[in-house]
Structure formats: C-alpha cells, structure tokens
Amino acid sequence: MVPKIMKQGRWAPWLYLAPALIIMLVFIVYPTIGTIRLSLLDETSTHSAATTCIPNQPCWGVFENYRYALTDPAMLTALRNNALWLLLMVPGTVAGGLFFALLADRVRYESVAKSIVFMPMAISFIGAGVIWRFVYDIEAGGGPQIGLLNAIVVGFGGQPIAWLSNPLINNFSLMLVGVWLWAGFCMTILSAAIKGVPAEMLEAARVDGANEWHVFSKIMLPTIMPTIVVTTTTMAIIILKIFDIVFVMTGGDFGTEVIANRMFNLIVTNAGRSTAIAVLLIVLTIPIMVFNIDRFRKEEAAR
Amino acid sequence: MNPLARLNRFLGKLPVHLAVILMCVLWIIPTLGLFVTSFRTRQAVNDSGWWTVFLPQPKAVGLPEYTQYCASCHGADGKAIPTANFSDPNLVNQFPSAASLLVMLRKPINGKPHLINPTLPSAPRDALNTLTPLISYLQTLSGQNQSTGRFTLSSYVDALVGYKGTRNYLSDCQQKVASTLVQFNCNISDLANPAGMGVAFINTILVVIPVTLFVIVFAALAAYAFAWLDFKGRQWIFALLIGLQIVPLQMSLVPIAQLYVKLGIQSSFLGIWLFHTGFGLPYAIYLIRNFIGSLPRDIFESAYLDGANHWAAFRVLALPLAMPAIASLGIFQFIWVWNDFLVAKIFLTTHPVLTVQITNLIDPRGGNWNILTGAAFLSFIIPMLVFFAFQRYFVRGLLAGSVKG
C-alpha cells in the first residue's frame, strides 16, 4: 500500500531523508560493518578467529567467537539474565508507566505527580548508583543499618539481607532499580499519546452511558495501541542492551551478568569476542524488526 | 455544585488519589535519600541511615552536666555572660581538656569561688569525669562538634568550586589552608574555577542544545518521508532503522575516533554533536514516524486540495500536530546527552562536561565520594526544568475537530 497523498518530485523523499541517512551511515552503519569484520578475528584483530581454536575441543572455525558468545558459561548466565530482564521489566515498565499516566490524567496535580515518577530519568547513572546504595546497603556486623531496606528488615526483627550479592534475589533487586528508572520514560511517551485521544470521543462514550472500563478498553486502548507497541519495542531494545545499572551496582558479579556488560568488559582485552557479542545483540533484534514492519504495513493499509 | 455532590465526587476519586500518591511516595523515597544525604556531613552518612534525620535526636552529650553546673549563670545557650560567651569557638578552644577546664573552675571569679551551688566532686578523678562530657557540650555550643552538626552545604559548595581536598572548601578558606589557597581565591571568582562545575555546566549546554535541535529537525524530516512520501525501499530502510537502535555505541567509538583524527576534528564540539546526533536519530525517527504516520489521512488530503504541497503539509500540519511526540523526544534526547559520560570523555577531552567533571572530582581512594551527592543534584536541576517546561505541550485537544466522529 502506497501512502501517496499528493504529487511529489522524484527526488523529494531523498531530500527529506538525506541528513538523517548520511549521519546514520557514517556513525552507525559504517562502524557496524567494521564490527562484523572484527567479530571473525582473534583477540588482537590480526588473525582469523579460527586460529584461536584448541585442538580436540569443539571449534566453530572462523565463527569461533560466536561459539564463545553462545556457549560460554558466563555468556549463558548473561543470556538467561537478559531473558529474565525482558520478561519482567518490559511489562513492568510499560504497564506501570501506562497505569500511572492514566491515573495522573485524572488528578489536578498531574504535572507534579508525573515529574516525580520522571525524576529518576533525570539523574545520571552515577547519581543513581549512589541513591540505591542507600537502599540496598548491608551492614553485616552489629552496627546500625544505613541501607533503608535492611533497616526495615532489622526493625521487624529479621536478619539483614544481602540484596546485591545473594544470587536468589540480586537480579530482582537490579530490576527494581530498572523499573524505577525507566517507568518514567514509558509514562512520558504514553502520556503524550493519551493526550492525543480526542476529548469529544471520550465524552461521547460517557454520554452514551459507557462505564470507565469500557471507555478505556474500547476507545482509549485502541487509539493509543500504536504508541504502546512503540514503547514496548523501545523498552525491549533498551533492556537487550541494559548495561549501566549492572555495571554500577554489581559489575556483573554474583550471577548478575548481562550481555552488554560482557561486551563492555571484553572490549579492551578481546575485541573479537566483544564484537561477536555485539553482533549477537543485533541479531536478537531481528524478530522485533519483523514484527514492527508487519504492523506498519497493516496500519498503512488501514488508514 | 452543592457540597454533598462535591464530597461524593471527591470520595469517588479517592482511590485514584491514593494510588497516585502511593506511587509518588514509592518513587521519591530513593531520591529523597540522596537529597537528605547531600546535606549531611561525611561522618554522619557513614554512621547512621539518612532517615534518622527525621527521628528525634538523642540528647547531646554533656547536656545534663551543663544544666546542672553552668546553665543557671551562663544560660541554656551559653550566651548569658557576654565576657564568657560559649558560642565563641575561640573561648572554648582555650579548654581542650577536662584538666584545663578544672583549673579555670578552681580559680575564684571576682573574689568568689567559680562554682558555689552545686560544687564539683572534691575527688580530682570524679571532677574530671564530670567535666569531660561538659567539654564536649561546650564544643557543641560553639558549633565545632562535627558529629553533632546535622546539616551542611559543603557537598554542594565543594562540587561547585571543584574542591578535591579531604576536608571542605569553606573551612579550608576560613582557616587559610595553604594547599587550598594555591588553587582558590576564596571568593566568588572560584565559581569559574576550571575544575569546578560552572565551566563544565557551560560546556554541557553547548553540547546538549545543538544535539537536541539537530535530532529533532533531522528526525522530523525523515519521519515525514517514511510516513507520507513514496519511494523505493521505504519499508526496508525503515526496518534497518529499527535494527540500528540496538547497535551499542561503544562499537563506534574507535572507528569514529580514527576518522576524526583524519579529519582533524578530534575533541571538537562539531565531532561530539555529530556523534550524539547519529545515535539519537534511529529512535527519534522511529518515535516521530509512528506519531506522524497515525495522523488521519484526510487532513493531509484536504490540505492538498487546498493547494498545499508536501513542504507546507510538513510545516503546517505534521510538525504542530506531532508536538506532544516531539516534546517527549526533546526531553529524552536532552537528558540522554546531558547524562552521557562515555562519549564526552572520549570526544571532548579539552572541554569537560558535567558528568566528566564530576568523576574528575572524585578522589580515587574514595575519600570524598560524598561530593557526588551534591554534584548529582546540581546536575539534575536543569533536566527537571526542561521536563517542566515541555509539559505544556502535553495537552489534550491538538487534534480537536480534525477527526470525524
């Protein structure tokens, strides 16, 4: 389906696109091609990755770095953790952000309330690391707890909990930081979409006697659905490359490793493995791309 | 509206209010912790949780002794006798130990014993034990006792002027510490100290504002083409663009740095503008294309019938109608670049931005990490103002009248 609505010159579209496309070609596409090349070389980027194979051990030849990216125990932990982050944090932030945007839309102090949820976004990750130190800190000796959570636990007579080093809970502790940080992002985008739903449509439904749930599910939700999908897509991509929370809070220790942190740690010591992980990240987004293109085709056909 | 109906309406909305307020409280608590901490002394931060400042403070050491022996003449605040004013640090410093205070107390004043009722215990050891907490209380009265001083602005002042020492800028200046006087003038001109946050603040502004504008303008143009123009490979290029969002910018650092050296624009504002713009564009185009693309087709068609061309439709229809999306994009682009550390560290070495400057301030041995608390808040003010300023674009009714019911 062609979106053509009026006459256009043959080159007109490219004039609109040129500045953005040229900049992206230079700064993203060209380095990505280099990245793919490096991912087939060894750690010094001089020989083929096949030379790093050890005799009598499994070997993927020139794709040896990809064998590392897909089978190394540290990478398996990272892949598992990223899957967990995706499963919990994408719904957590999108639903949380939507819920809050809808509620805030109904109160008069909306702008203050939204600013509070948005606030974590404005704090640099350096500040965020310090902030959560005062939440998760553990004082193992007899001294007073300066971490808020453990002060509460101890206040109720419990034993202090190692929120960041206990492998059973530390991933969830980190995800909590993630939701705290990113819910404001989803809220802002979704709030803009909610404001875009024409008031007369909502009023008409209410006059017709629809209850609030129906107004939401039959009118609001379908209208803002494209934005929900966009926000979900963006969050999925952000979570796939989540890095700074883990880097600042645990450095990937105690079983909290994630893909992007592995990539970052290897960038100096082993460019081949690091770039193979980067390419793996790009490959992981292909389903997201396919899904989005399919959706845009349908949307354009319908309008 | 009569009062009963108003009450009814309020009660009906009560769950909404409670939910909004509960979520706000949960969200603000961690930040509040940092905010409170930024005003506390380094010692206090390590000794007790930040929330203890909201609890009643334990009585200061030595208060009972002071009340028993001194308060009747010197007053509860120690200022009742002007010639023996306990709020004056110089006076209190004459008695660094209980023994020196005892000597003073044994001396007669105006021919009469210093202490009449009650008198100190006669055994010297008991007398000294009574006086030790009193010394501590006198130091509290004169404002010298660090652990009892509850709040300080030193985290902020130190960060602003770029103080790296182990004490704090204000007290160093007061006591004329030589190592501090070498670097600082101890007056308002220190705000422009190259290691401080003032200069870094200007550098950050010079990076962030052009990048935000570039991203918005280029992305809006491209998004319009993807949404309403027809060209070969439209879907494919757009698919690629979604994929570009995942490319980690760390992968571009080395090749682009090499390219910049060849072009001679390493460590220039132009270099960092282009780099940030490049990595801001994929998401920006994706977001705005989604918004512009979902505008109703008929408003563009009727514009065409009125004789408008694409350029006019872009400026008069698409841009204004996409304002909520552009506003949220502007907010985030601003904040991401404002809080960027890695790119600025590599591509703008000669003009440190805020994040780089803050990490420069940190003593690698961890002696002054509390400076982060003040610096984090100073750096956070502008993004919050931007968020407030752009809020006014999030209004209902931009599309009013353009949609057929």
Q: Does A225 touch chain B (CB under 8 A)?
A: no
Sign for the CA dihedral angle at A56, A58, A61, A65 comes to: negative
Q: CB–CB of B74/B81 below 8 Å? A: yes
Residue B276 pLDDT exceeds 90: yes
**Structure confidence at residue B402 (pLDDT):** 45
CB B327 within 8 A of CB B389: no
Q: Mean pLDDT over residues B46-71, rounded?
A: 76
Chain B within 8 Å of A195 (Cβ-Cβ)? yes
CA distance B301 to B279: 34
Residue B147 counted as domain residue: no
Contact by Cβ (8 Å): A293, B239: yes
Of B274, B271, B250, B278, the C-alpha closest to B348 is: B271
Does residue B203 sit in the same domain as residue B349?
yes
Domain ranges of chain A: 58-279
Give yes or no for residue B145 having a pLDDT over 60: no
A121 touches chain B (CB under 8 A): yes
Residue B192 lies in a domain: no
* pLDDT tens sequence across B229-271: 888 888 889 888 888 888 888 888 888 888 888 898 888 899 9
B125 and B35 within one domain: no
Does any domain span residue B273?
A: yes
Considering only CA atoms, give the Rg of chain B: 32
| Cβ proximity of A65 and A276 under 8 Å | yes
Q: How many CA atoms lie within 13 A of B250 on its CB side?
A: 21
Q: Does B51 touch chain A (CB under 8 A)?
A: yes
pLDDT in tens, B64-99: 778 888 887 888 777 778 778 887 777 777 777 777
What SS3 class is residue B187?
Answer: coil
Q: B 292-311 residues with CB below 8 A of A?
A: 293-294, 296-297, 300-301, 304, 308-310
- Alpha-carbon distance B376 to B354, whole Å? 10
CATH code of the domain in which B334 resides? 1.10.3720.10
Is some CB atom of chain A closer than 8 A to the CB atom of B6? no
- B324 vs A114, A195, A241: nearest CB: A195
Q: Do B50 and B84 reside in the same domain of the chain?
A: no
- Chain B nearest-CA distance from A178, in A, is 12
Residue B130 Cα, gap to closest chain A Cα (Å):
28
B10 CB near a chain A CB, below 8 Å? no
Summary mean pLDDT of chain B: 82
Cross-chain Cβ contact B221/A16 below 8 Å: yes
Q: With contacts defined as CB-CB under 8 Å, which chain B residues touch A103? A: 16, 19-20, 23
Over range A55-82, report the average pLDDT.
Answer: 88
Residues B172 and B45 reside in one and the same domain: no
- Side chain identity at residue B229, one-letter code: L
B74 inside domain = yes
Rounded Cα–Cα distance for residues B214 and B212 (Å): 6
Q: Do B13 and A2 touch (CB under 8 A)?
A: no
Q: Are residues B202 and B317 in the same domain?
A: yes
User: What percent of chain A has a predicted confidence (pLDDT) above 70?
Assistant: 97
Overall domain count for chain B: 4
The reply to whether B240 and B366 lie within a common domain is yes
In A61-197, which ranges are E strands? none
Q: Does residue B148 belong to any structural domain of this protein? A: no
Q: Do B274 and A124 make contact, defined as CB atoms within 8 angstroms?
A: no
Q: Report residue B274 as tokens.
A: 């282009």
| Confidence grade of residue B300 (pLDDT, cut at 50, 70, 90) | confident
What ipTM did this prediction achieve? 0.85
Closest partner residue to B255 (CB to CB) among A5, A24, A31 is A31
B71 and B29 in a common domain = no
* Whether the bond into B364 is cis, omega within 30 of 0: no
Domain range enclosing B163: 154-187
Which chain B positions have a beta carbon within 8 Å of A263's beta carbon?
Answer: 248, 250
User: Cα(A82)–Cα(A175) distance, rounded to whole angstroms?
Assistant: 11
Q: Do B33 and A148 touch (CB under 8 A)?
A: yes
Do B287 and B362 have their domain in common? Answer: yes
Say yes or no: B234 and B377 in one domain. yes
How close is the nearest chain B Cα to the Cα of A54, in Å?
A: 28
* Same structural domain, B123 and B262: no
Q: Is residue B88 assigned to a domain?
A: yes
- pLDDT score recorded for residue B57: 65
Least Cα separation, residue B193 to chain A (angstroms): 23
Whether A126 has its CB under 8 Å from any CB of chain B: the answer is: yes
What letters, b where the CB count within 10 A reaches 16 and e where it falls short, cover B290-324?
bbbbbbeeebbeebbeeebebeebbeebbbebbbb
Name the minimum distance, in Å, from the CA of A6 to any CA of chain B: 6
Q: Residue B146 falls within a domain, yes or no?
A: no
Fold of A58-279: MetI-like fold (1.10.3720)
Q: Are residues B382 and B315 in the same domain?
A: yes
Look at residue B110 and tell me if it is in a domain.
yes
Residue B369 and residue B267 share a domain = yes
Q: Taking CB atoms and an 8 Å cutoff, what residues of chain B touch A201?
A: 403, 405
Q: Which of B46, B387, B393 to mutate to test the interface with A (most CBs of A within 10 A)?
A: B387
